[in-house]
């Protein structure tokens, strides 16, 4: 059984980002910059944003965070997103989700410059993903694909099952797995709350990606022997212990490869955010330099 080490792979990705940043600074005279908009006091979001700031510092990326009160009006958030999108000093923009109610996150995301959308959630980037055109990809599923390639776990010609249909993970994950390429070309089934027999679907999967947010939902009897199991879930169990959507202790005995929680997919999300920020910077700067 292969224990997929997301910490190790993420560290290598971030080291590559650091080298890219140094090269781009020499070429263009400045480092890439990332703007994060954080609204409210959600504890998980606070931790995630601090981790992003730390990762930026290590990579040499300039990071700026706008912290807004939870009572901030929709118009103010939208105005800020537009201002950051038009700023020449900002290369990547990220609105930390979820936004406090009653703020409308979809409206904010649609106002973002798609060239700066480092989360890959703008409709244009979603469309580019579906058409297999170059663009900024959602960080968590992109991180999963990077892990599969790193460990030479190709889903080509295999059956993949994605548990969850969120816009952040499930849907883009399904598109990436079914796209053309040596580490894609899977036949993909997406399961959700209305799927009649989820356990049956899981047992038929050669690659099982779990992203539903339910602690230890997937048990040993739901996994095909030899399957690759990717656990995107990040939950707290009844004892407050961090765990995934997969019952790791049971499933590891039947899987051929599995990601732990923590230390699996989680570190890859921020690593791919750094990759997206560098790509957004490079594409923008090359566009400016090539303009007549």
Looking at domain 139-266, what is its CATH homologous superfamily?
NAD(P)-binding Rossmann-like Domain (3.40.50.720)
- Per-residue pLDDT tens digits for 176-221: 999 998 889 999 999 999 999 999 999 999 999 999 999 999 999 9
User: What is this structure's pTM?
Assistant: 0.95
Tell me whether residue 244 is annotated as binding: no
CATH level 3 topology of 29-113: Rossmann fold (3.40.50)
40's CB contacts (< 8 A; 6+ apart) are 68, 69, 70, 99, 100
pLDDT of residue 233: 95
- Per-residue pLDDT tens digits for 84-138: 999 999 999 999 999 999 999 999 999 999 999 999 999 999 999 999 999 999 9
Comma-separated ranges of CATH 3.40.50.10860 domains in the chain: 29-113
pLDDT of residue 291: 40
Read off the tokens for 147: 């892990």
What's the rounded Cα separation, in Å, for the pair 124 and 127? 5
Q: Which residues are catalytic?
A: 52, 96, 119
DSSP code per residue over 135-171:
-PPPHHHHHHHHHHHHTT---TTSEEEEE---TTTHH
261, pLDDT greater than 90: yes
Tell me whether residue 250 is annotated as binding: no
- Per-residue pLDDT tens digits for 23-80: 999 999 999 999 999 999 988 899 999 999 999 999 999 999 999 999 999 999 999 9
Mean pLDDT of 130-149: 97
Nearest CA-CA partner of 13 in 282, 285, 276, 281? 276
Tell me whether residue 165 is annotated as binding: yes
What's the rounded Cα separation, in Å, for the pair 251 and 228? 10
Comma-separated ranges of CATH 3.40.50.720 domains in the chain: 139-266
């Amino acid at each position: 059984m292969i224990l997929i080490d997301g910490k190790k792979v993420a560290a290598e990705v971030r080291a590559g980002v650091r080298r890219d940043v140094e090269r781009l600074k020499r070429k263009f005279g400045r480092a890439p910059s990332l703007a994060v908009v954080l609204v409210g006091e959600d504890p998980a979001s606070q931790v995630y944003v601090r981790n992003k700031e730390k990762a930026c510092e290590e990579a040499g990326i300039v990071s700026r965070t706008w912290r807004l009160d939870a009572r901030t009006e929709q118009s103010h958030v939208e105005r800020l997103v537009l201002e950051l999108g038009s700023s020449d000093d900002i290369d990547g923009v990220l609105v930390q989700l979820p936004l406090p109610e009653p703020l409308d996150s979809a409206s904010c995301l649609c106002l973002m410059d798609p060239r700066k959308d480092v989360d890959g959630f703008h409709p244009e980037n979603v469309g580019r993903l579906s058409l297999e055109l170059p663009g900024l990809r959602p960080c968590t599923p992109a991180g999963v694909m990077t892990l599969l390639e790193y460990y030479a776990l190709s889903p080509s010609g295999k059956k993949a099952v994605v548990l969850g249909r969120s816009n952040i993970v499930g849907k883009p994950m399904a598109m990436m797995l079914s796209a053309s390429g040596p580490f894609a070309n899977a036949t993909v089934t997406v399961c959700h709350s209305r799927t009649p027999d989820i356990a049956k679907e899981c047992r038929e999967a050669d690659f099982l990606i779990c992203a539903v947010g339910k602690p230890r939902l997937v048990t040993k009897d739901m996994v095909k022997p030899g399957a690759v199991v990717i656990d995107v879930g990040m939950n707290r169990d009844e004892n407050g212990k961090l765990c995934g959507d997969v019952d790791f202790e049971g499933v590891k005995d039947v899987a051929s490869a599995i990601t732990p929680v923590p230390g699996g997919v989680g570190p890859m999300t921020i690593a791919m955010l750094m990759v997206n920020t560098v790509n957004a910077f490079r594409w923008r700067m090359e566009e400016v330099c090539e303009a007549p």
